[in-house]
Every structure is written in structure tokens, then in C-alpha cells.
Structure 1
Amino acid sequence: MFITDQADLESFATRACGSSLLAIDTEFLREKTYYAKLCLLQMQTDEETVIVDPFAVDDLTVLADVFTNPGVLKLFHAGSQDIEILYRVVGVMPTPIFDTQLAAALLGHTQQIGYGALVNLCCGVQLKKIDSYTDWSRRPLSPSQVNYAADDVVYLPAVYRKVSGQLASLGRTHWLDPDFAELVDPKKYAVNERDRYRRLKRVGQLKPRQLSAARELAEWRELKAERSDIPRKWVMTDEQIVEACKREARSIDELFMVRGLSDKLSTRDARAVVACIVRGLDTPMEDWPEHARPSRNEANVDVVVDLMSAVVRKRARESNIAFQTLCNHSDLAKVARGYRDVAILQGWRRDIVGNELLDLLAGRLCVFVREDTVEVTKR
């Protein structure tokens, strides 16, 4: 059912509240906007498939009741971007949820297994990919586009039943509860403009005073892009911010020495950019930000992390869990430096390998190679 009428959407929302599940997917574009532009919303209940044209209906918030209905399980595959968009346009977080990509990683599949590959494994269906990079904002949609969009939710309930059944047989049904809770935590999608400078490309090239200027300038760019609903790079690129701060530009003439800025910035914006740089450069030294990296008095942990990785890979393989789902390099480095509030030392992850990592650090574990196989024993 292709929905282009508000009354039809409201009728579907009422019917969907009686379903046991609601598979959800979106098609969107974000190449020319700050916020992702929702172009299509696909949903599958126990009994029907609907595709909603958000350009044609008046109000998507009518889906709020079914999105928050505790009796309707919301299904996603790699759903973080879908959830972020829906939270903005519907106004609520979909709960409860189940993400089949996260679940598949607990069953030996790669951490980022694609929907098509999982459908093929669980349902024996090879999905067509002809419309995967189509322009979803154009109207009218072709029949192949509609079919492609529908396929993204039609098979999701069957995939869910397959992987959830496998998780149940392994006693892992609730292992992902914290991960699912994080996916629908509004804090995950909150934008901290003041911290945006840490994600600039090549920000590590800046000295502390210059980093202070980058903090001010990156915040200004974030707010301007958000207000204008345009991509950040249309205001200034990461490289231009870093170069302007590296030059410590205190005038428009100095600023325009950076390639491309004279064509990109109006005189008014150029004044604002210079003001940001000057404000950051003149910030007292004690208020300068620091690069996000270990302090010099922390021990080099590379060798220790390598040993820990060997143990984790062995246990991940034995448990048929994707390595990155069990832990990541950053968490291992934190454990090696003495931190204990780390995911690998919590819940089921601790049971599988976390306790062994603590034994390894305490010298109670021996790691060696026998016939090309890593072995782990108690000392």
C-alpha cells in the first residue's frame, strides 16, 4: 500500500497498534542538507506492507502511538540513522526495538553484515540492488523503486524470527538489551556544538592555542550549518578550519589566504570567522582544550593490547561472535591502563573474556602458540 493521504496514514497507524511487530526502514538524502531529508518511510506489520510518501502527507507524528506502543516490537537493520531521522520527524523514540545487524554479530556474522546478505542467509532470497543509489527525492517513483523500498521491510520479520530464535537457543536473548537501549537514547543523537572541533580532520596538527581557536570556529560552523540546513562543508571544510587556525588569522586578509575561503564566505561571515579565531587565540592558557589522547605519564600499552587482542579473538571465534561486538581496540587500551568502567568488563562480555583479561594483566594467565594455534592457560 502506497500512502499519500493523511487519512490513510492515520488509519494505518491505528491498525499497526494491533500488530505484534513493526518493521521499519527509511530512504533519505543528506548530500545537500544538514539534517537528513526523509524521502520515504517503509513499514511492515504482521499483515501488511506500507510505503509512506512524507512529501504527500501532512503529519508523521500520528505514528507516535504505535512507535511507543510496548506491545509492538519495532524491527530495524542497522537502524541508528533511521532512528535519528524518525526521532526528529515523529518526535518520539521507537521502543521497544530489535536490530538484526547487531543480533547477527552475536551469531558469528561480521559486525556490519548488510541487509541483503542477511536476507539471503535467512530467507534464501537474493535482493535486487538496481535502485540502491537512486534519488529518492524525485517524483513520481518508478515501480522498481517502490518494490526495492518494500523489500527493505518485507523480509525483516522473517530475519528477526530466524536470528532471535538462534539467540534464544544459545541463551543470548537479552545480551543486546543494553545495546538496544543505547540506540534509542536521545543522548546518542544530541549534537554538542562545543565539542565538534574534536572531530575535525587533521585537528591533531594544531597547537593548544590554535586548538582553542578551532573549538570556537567549529562551533560557529555547526550552528550556521544547522540554522541554514546545509552541509557543514558548504560553510567551511574541516581542512579550511584547521588551516585558518594554524595561520592564526586575525584579519580578513589573513583569513582569505586560505584556499577557497574568499569565494565561500561573505564579508559578514568572514568577520564572524575572524572573531571566532581571535576569541579562541586570546582565551587564557588554562582554558585551552587538550587533544583527546593519553597523557605522557601513561605507559605504552601496545604490546599488552596485542596480547589481550589474541585472547579476545580466540574467545570470539569459540563463541561465534564478531570480534568488534565483543570489544574494540580503544576498550582494550583502557583496560590495559587500569580503567574498569569498560564494556568488555561488564555483563556477558566479562563472562566470555573480561575476567581472563584481568587475569592476564595480573600475571595469572599464560598465552602461547602451539601448532599455529593460540592457547590460553592459567599459570
Structure 2
Amino acid sequence: MKRRASQASSDDANVPKAAPPIATNEELNAILTQYQNAEFLAIDTEFLRERTYYPQLCLIQISDGVDAVAIDPLAPNLDLNPLWDLMRNQNITKVFHAGNQDMEIFLHLMGSLPEPIYDTQIAAMVCGLGDQVGYDKLVKAMLNHDIDKTSRFTDWSKRPLSNRQIVYALDDVIYLAELYPLMRSKLEAENRSHWLDEEYAKSNDPATYVTAPDAAWQKLKVRNMRPAPLLRLMHLAAWREREAQSRDLPRNRVIRDETLIDLAGSNPKDRKDYANIRNFPGGKDGKLVAPISKVLDMVAAMPSSSLPEAEKRGPAKHPPAAVMELLRVLLKHVTDKHDIAPRLIASAEELELLASDDDAPIRALNGWRREIFGDLALRLKQGEIALAVKKGRIILIKNNG
């Protein structure tokens, strides 16, 4: 595979030369014409989001397994609509690694998601590489190559980019294009491709990448809040989310989490009360007093039927500890045997449900998960099988009772 070559001298004798990012419509259309016939495209982005709500796209890298190019979305007068059309091409698989933030960017700019997609971090969960494996670890494990990390913390919005920065960015899609056929072939040979269907369904759902204002309060770390303050917090968080989105600012640049929680609890009645709110911007003379007071007044006028249900404070029901330990050991045994990440079978919460209920509504009791783990778990609970150690390894034995 090759990068687009440059005639310019390299800024490091040990770094290969790469052409500057594509910055004209003529160059972009030429490479997109080539990519129209690709079976797949490995895609990565570089972005900043410290000062914005939405990630600021600074560079797009693409490889078809033959050529790798960088595209400069900050170039003046560059029309990216032909690229968005390519991203929607159903005949070309778009390959990402840990692509959630990339997908968020494309959804915001395109109005839709690239499709179809393949995420090598998701695929790695059934390739014996663990849950949420990093890209450098994946490249090392499957290609035996060490990734150069020296440009990882680049300010990608600054121009011009150095040759080293461009090479670093392109390497991500060059290796990604090598990984994809290997991982796909491995999963197909082992008949495991369908094991990832649920994970990909979530990745293909636009709701995964959008925070609805009415659900924004769920991102806040609050416990045991009474119904009235919680209702205020729900509406304050929704207001902040809309403000952050419309002003393209990080949430905490609008108002901090702890300040929002303090507002919900103290429920200030007039301007002077805002002086006592922790880190409230501008105090009683701040610009946010008026809009926040409007939200609080609106909530105060709501009927009591609008209050969320009070949290039930009865004693927590814990599953039998011994059963939980046995299920954990069984899960480790099964996932080691099949070389997959435990999270793909069951979360800690799902194991707790299974420990208490043989008919728990969990993934492990359905489909392929039940075939390799769920049925064994039920047989273990019912005493039909047991766990034992032989030569330092966990084994399953059938009980004769």
C-alpha cells in the first residue's frame, strides 16, 4: 500500500514522504472516482472538541487498501458533499476502529451515518483481544507493528501540517486496511460474524451519537435526590443541553454540572439567591439568571403529577454470593475457551440477574450466547454440572447425582 507521494523534502530523514492533504475539489473528485470501485474504505479522522459541543473535524484519512490519502476539511471552498455521497454508498464497507466519535462527526456534518460500517474494535471482542482494545495493541497483535505515537497530541487545526503529522495520520488507515480483511476472514472461518449483530445494530443507530435534551440529566452523577429537586434538575439539564448545542459550546462552558445540581437543590427564588450558588457565572448579576429563573418558574407551575417517582429505599436485594462467584468463574472459562471478551456475553448486572432468576431477561439466555454460556450457567445453578481444577485449569464435570 502507498501514500500519495510528495516531491517536497521530508521534515525527518527517517519518516517517509507524503503528499499534503487534498485541498481542492479537483483533487478530491479524482480520488473519489477511484474509490467508487472499492470493496471497502478504511476511514479515520482527526478532530478537536475541547472548545466546542460538536467535534471540530480537522482531517479525514481514507484508504482503499491500495492508496491512502488525507483530506483537509478546513481548506477554503472545498465541497465535501461528493465525499458524503461516497460514505452513503451501500456497496462499500466503511471500516473504522473505535468509530463512535468519527460517527458522531459524520452524523453532524452529513445528516446521516456512513453505511454499511465495520468496526475493528468491536470485531476484536471475538478475536481474543479483549474488550475495547486500543488501536496500537490491535496493530501489534495482528500485524506485529509498533505505532508511532509522537504526533498523538497534535493540534490538528493548525496549518500547515508537517510531513510527520501527515504520515502519522495516514498510518492509521494504512494498517486499518490491512487489519480488516484478516479480521473478517477469521470471523467468517469461525462462523462468528453474526455474534456481533447486536453491537453493530447499536453502532448503526443515530440515537447512539445524539444526546436528546430531555435525557441529558441522566449523564449527571446524582444519588437519592427527592422528586421535586430531581424534576428541576431534569429541566435544567435539558435547557443546558439545548444551549450547548445551539451555541456549539461544551456543556460545562455553559454552566458546570455541580452548579446545575446546586440550582436544582436550592431552587433560588430571586436574584440575590444566585450569589449563594456554587460557581454560578456572574453571580446575581449573571446573564444566566433570567433564563434559569424562567426554567425554575416553569417547573414550579407544573402539576404534582409531573414529579418523578421517588426512589425506592428498601434494602437492596443481593444475589447469592456463592452463585455469583461460580457464574463469574464459568464466564471466564467460557470466554477464555472461545477467545472472546466477557462483556460480549454478559455484564456484571446481567450476571446478578441470572444468579437470582433462571428466566432473567438478559442476552446470555438467548441465541448463540445461550448456546455457549447460558445453558451451562443454568445447568451449573441446578447442580447438573460442576467446576473443577485439573492441572491448573478450570474444567466442567457432569454430576452423577
TM > 0.5: yes
Task: Measure the CA separation in 1 of the matches of 2:294 and 2:207.
Answer: 31
Task: Measure the CA separation in 2 of the matches of 1:269 and 1:112.
Answer: 40
The answer to whether the Cα contact below 8 Å between 1:86 and 1:93 also exists between their aligned partners in 2 is yes
26, 29, 35: which one aligns with 2:48: 29
Letter in 2 for 1:128: D
Letter in 1 for 2:255: M
Letter in 1 for 2:291: A
- Alignment of 1:181 with 2:201, yes or no, is yes
Output aligned runs, 1:348-367, within 5 Å: 348-360=368-380, 363-367=382-386
Task: Classify the secondary structure of the residue corresponding to 1:261.
Answer: coil
Task: Measure the CA separation in 1 of the matches of 2:383 and 2:120.
Answer: 38
Task: Measure the CA separation in 2 of the matches of 1:245 and 1:354.
Answer: 44
Output aligned runs, 1:121-160, within 5 Å: 121-160=141-180
Deviations 1:105-125 (A, max 9, x none): 111112121111211222222
The answer to whether the Cα contact below 8 Å between 1:235 and 1:265 also exists between their aligned partners in 2 is no
Task: Measure the CA separation in 2 of the matches of 1:190 and 1:353.
Answer: 33
Instruction: Name which of structure 1's ranges 273-282 and 80-89 shifts more when overlaid on structure 2.
Output: 273-282
Output aligned runs, 1:67-78, within 5 Å: 67-78=87-98
- Alignment of 1:230 with 2:249, yes or no, is yes
Whose radius of gyration is greater, 1 or 2? 2
The answer to whether the Cα contact below 8 Å between 1:222 and 1:232 also exists between their aligned partners in 2 is yes
Instruction: Name which of structure 1's ranges 237-246 and 218-227 shifts more when overlaid on structure 2.
Output: 237-246
Output aligned runs, 1:8-19, within 5 Å: 8-19=27-38
| Post-superposition offset of 1:337 | 5.8
Output aligned runs, 1:58-137, within 5 Å: 58-137=78-157
The answer to whether the Cα contact below 8 Å between 1:215 and 1:280 also exists between their aligned partners in 2 is no
Tell me the residue number matched to 2:319: 301
| Post-superposition offset of 1:104 | 1.3
Q: 1:18 to 1:367 in 2, by over 3 A?
A: same
| Post-superposition offset of 1:348 | 1.9
Tell me the residue number matched to 1:191: 211
- Alignment of 1:44 with 2:63, yes or no, is yes
Letter in 1 for 2:166: V
Task: Classify the secondary structure of the residue corresponding to 2:194.
Answer: coil
| Post-superposition offset of 1:205 | 4.7
- Alignment of 1:275 with 2:298, yes or no, is no
The answer to whether the Cα contact below 8 Å between 1:76 and 1:99 also exists between their aligned partners in 2 is yes
Tell me the residue number matched to 1:313: 332
Q: 1:119 to 1:281 in 2, by over 3 A?
A: same
| Post-superposition offset of 1:268 | 4.1
Instruction: Name which of structure 1's ranges 96-105 and 65-74 shifts more when overlaid on structure 2.
Output: 65-74
Tell me the residue number matched to 1:248: 267
Deviations 1:17-39 (A, max 9, x none): 10111000001111100101111
Task: Measure the CA separation in 2 of the matches of 1:267 and 1:209.
Answer: 25
The answer to whether the Cα contact below 8 Å between 1:210 and 1:245 also exists between their aligned partners in 2 is yes
How many residues were matched structurally?
376
Q: In structure 1, list runs of 5 or more residues that go unmatched.
A: none
Task: Classify the secondary structure of the residue corresponding to 2:223.
Answer: helix
Tell me the residue number matched to 2:278: 259
Tell me the residue number matched to 1:342: 362
Letter in 2 for 1:35: Y
Instruction: Name which of structure 1's ranges 211-220 and 315-324 shifts more when overlaid on structure 2.
Output: 315-324
- Alignment of 1:163 with 2:183, yes or no, is yes
Q: In structure 2, list runs of 5 or more residues that go unmatched.
A: 5-20
Letter in 1 for 2:319: V
The answer to whether the Cα contact below 8 Å between 1:221 and 1:235 also exists between their aligned partners in 2 is yes
TM-score (structure 2 length as normaliser): 0.85
